[in-house]
Homo-oligomer: A and B are copies of this chain.
């Protein structure tokens, strides 16, 4: 998995993991600059003194780790949802439906777990930008593999995956701002028609 450390193999819920998950949740909803270390510590329930033991790189390292973990998790989800049926169009529909449901359930706070941070710091923090880029890459790979399996050549599959991911990311933005699932549903319609 991640090279940063063992994810508490069978042990008690470590402070480290608590920090990461608290960070991931806050970054998703508020972004990087608006999320304070004190806020993370308070939400995690872990002792503040432990933070710089686990993450000597401070806020930046913590955020990069959280982004990487969230990216890996979503990559797995994409693979799972798209692989559950033979029909790629139907899979894409289910993927978007899942996202729309989560977005609504959170009061339009839980969009893409990394897009906000990615936009904020892509010019400021190379480690975080790299983590975000790696996450996007893994999602593109998961999507591209399905398109390739569907008969497209590698080049076409890659372009198609990029298009699909971009449309979904953009729809998540529009949906959050409009507080409405309509953009996601419109994109779903168009993508299903395109792919099917």
* A residues in contact (CB < 8 Å) with B: 29-34, 107-109, 111, 115-116, 118-124, 129, 132-133, 136, 158-160, 162-163, 165-171, 173-174, 176-179, 182-183, 186-187, 189-190, 194
Q: What is the total number of copies of this protein in its complex?
A: 4
- B136 near A178 (CB under 8 angstroms)? yes
Task: Return chain B residues, CB-CB under 8 Å to A169.
Answer: 166, 169-170, 173-174
Residues of B within 8 A of A122 (CB): 108, 176-177, 179
Of B109, B123, B133, B186, the residue contacting A163 (CB under 8 A) is: B186
A173 touches B119 (CB 8 A): yes
Is A31 touching B170 in the complex (CB atoms < 8 A)?
no
Question: Smallest CB–CB gap between A185 and chain B, Å?
Answer: 9
CB distance from A136 to the nearest CB of B (A): 6
A190 close to B163 (CB less than 8 A): yes
In the complex, which residues of chain B have a beta carbon less than 8 angstroms from the beta carbon of A167? 163, 166-167, 170
Main secondary structure of the interface of A (DSSP, over half): helix
Q: Known interface pairs A136-B178, A166-B170. Does A159 touch B111 (Cβ–Cβ under 8 Å)?
A: no
CB contact under 8 A between A160 and B190, given known A166-B170, A169-B169, A171-B166: yes
CA distance A192 to B160 in the complex (A): 13
Residues of B with C-beta under 8 A to A160: 190
- Report the nearest B residue to A183, measured CB to CB: B162
Known A-B contacts A31-B31, A182-B162; A119 and B189 likewise in contact (beta carbons under 8 Å): no
Known: A167-B167, A190-B160. A115 touches B33 (CB 8 A): no
Q: Which residues of B contact A133 (CB under 8 A)?
A: 177-178
Give me 10 other A-B pairs in contact (C-beta within 8 A), A136-B174, A136-B178, A170-B170 excluded.
A29-B123, A31-B120, A118-B173, A132-B177, A162-B187, A163-B190, A166-B169, A166-B187, A167-B170, A169-B170
